[in-house]
């Protein structure tokens, strides 16, 4: 199967988490991913941890896409982060709005001196010479969005500002993704839209997270995890099968790049890639 894989990791909270991330990055890098994206947390210590994670990813040899959000920061602070990325040799950015500090349920207010729209951040990144700017897209609509059309309007603004690609929120029903892409193409949005694949490492945890993100889990998927709570080995097998089947169907319908959420663990990503025929490079002897 000819499909490009990228992985997403997040900044760990402590030294043990950083060690786990470093091990995962080393294993994932042997699959030669297209890039590894590192999520961003606005605010002092979160931002420092984002930089630590970016550093770990760069050190692993990965091509890094560094996320950056608008929320809670004035323009000059965000521009300084963009400059730091450039200094670290990071040429890819995932430009996002971010969530209010009180959580996704709270109303969003742009910083008075900040980028007011995600499209403004996209334009700023492109002006500063960022090679590849990715943005978000939502197969099931952003939880705050008044309509599917509004979602597409926001995506179109980001594309007009220079976005090179979109990466979707997690979804578990490929028809939702196909529908999003069809509607985007109809709207004249031509950039690649990479499906965001979230292997279900723990059904209860992923179900809670998916609900917060507005992503639904079809009964057909939920049923496959029934009775497996607490059985890590069985969950691993089913999760790898489910994600592999999802990616195979996407690939059969012309998708040539998927972005996999890893939660800083390599085991499931490796198992899915193995089932897809994407195998680690052999270590030099």
> Interface with ligand FAD by CB under 6 A: which residues?
39-40, 67, 69, 94, 96-99, 104, 108, 118, 136, 142, 144-145, 150-151, 154, 167, 169, 196
Q: Indicate the residue among 70 and 238 with the shorter CB distance to ligand FAD.
A: 70
State the DSSP string of 98-124: ---TT-TTSPP---TTS-SSHHHHHHH
CB of 152 to ligand FAD, least distance (A): 8
Q: Is 211 a catalytic residue?
A: no
Q: Indicate the residue among 158 and 201 with the shorter CB distance to ligand FAD.
A: 158
Q: Indicate the residue among 151 and 201 with the shorter CB distance to ligand FAD.
A: 151
Q: Indicate the residue among 94 and 197 with the shorter CB distance to ligand FAD.
A: 94
State the DSSP string of the chain: ---EEEEEE---SSHHHHHHHHHHHHHHHTT--S-EEE----SHHHHHHHHHHHHHHHHTT--EEEEEE-TT--HHHHHHHHHHHHHTT--EEEEE----TT-TTSPP---TTS-SSHHHHHHHHHHTT-SEEEEEE-TT--TT-S-HHHHHHHHHHHHHTT--EEEEEE-S-HHHHHHHHHHHHHTT--S-EEEEE---SSHHHHHHHHHHHT----HHHHHHTTT-TT-HHHHHHHHHHHHHHHHHHHHHTT--EEEEE-TT--HHHHHHHHHHT--PPPPP-
Q: Indicate the residue among 167 and 238 with the shorter CB distance to ligand FAD.
A: 167
CB of 253 to ligand FAD, least distance (A): 20
Q: Which residue is nearest to ligand FAD (CB)?
A: 145
Selecting among 8, 48, 52, 237, the annotated active-site residue is 8
CB of 55 to ligand FAD, least distance (A): 16
CB of 22 to ligand FAD, least distance (A): 19
CB of 118 to ligand FAD, least distance (A): 3
What residues are annotated to the active site?
8
């Amino acid at each position: 199967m000819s499909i490009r894989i990228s992985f997403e990791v997040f900044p760990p909270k402590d030294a043990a988490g950083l060690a786990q991330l470093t091990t995962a990055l080393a294993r994932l890098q042997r699959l030669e991913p297209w890039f590894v994206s590192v999520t961003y947390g606005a605010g002092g210590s979160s931002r420092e941890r984002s930089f630590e994670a970016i550093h770990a990813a760069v050190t692993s040899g990965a091509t890094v896409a560094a996320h950056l959000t608008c929320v809670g920061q004035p323009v000059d602070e965000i521009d300084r982060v963009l400059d730091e990325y450039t200094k670290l040799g990071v040429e890819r950015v995932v430009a996002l709005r971010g969530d209010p500090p009180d959580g996704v349920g709270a109303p969003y207010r742009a910083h008075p001196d900040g980028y007011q729209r995600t499209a403004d951040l996209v334009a700023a990144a492109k002006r500063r010479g960022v090679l590849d700017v990715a943005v978000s897209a939502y197969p099931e609509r952003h939880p705050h969005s008044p309509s599917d059309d509004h979602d597409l309007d926001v995506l179109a603004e980001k594309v007009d500002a220079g976005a090179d690609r979109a990466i979707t929120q997690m979804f578990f029903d490929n028809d939702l993704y196909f529908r999003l892409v069809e509607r985007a193409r109809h709207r004249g949005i031509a950039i690649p839209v990479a499906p965001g694949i979230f292997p279900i490492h723990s059904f209860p945890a992923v179900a809670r997270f998916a609900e917060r993100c507005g992503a639904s889990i079809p009964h057909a998927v939920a049923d496959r995890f029934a009775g497996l709570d607490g059985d890590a080995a069985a969950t691993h097998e089913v999760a790898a099968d489910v994600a592999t089947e999802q990616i195979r169907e996407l690939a059969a319908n012309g998708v040539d790049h998927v972005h996999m959420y890893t939660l800083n663990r390599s085991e499931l990503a490796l198992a899915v890639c193995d089932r897809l025929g994407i195998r680690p490079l052999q270590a030099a002897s």
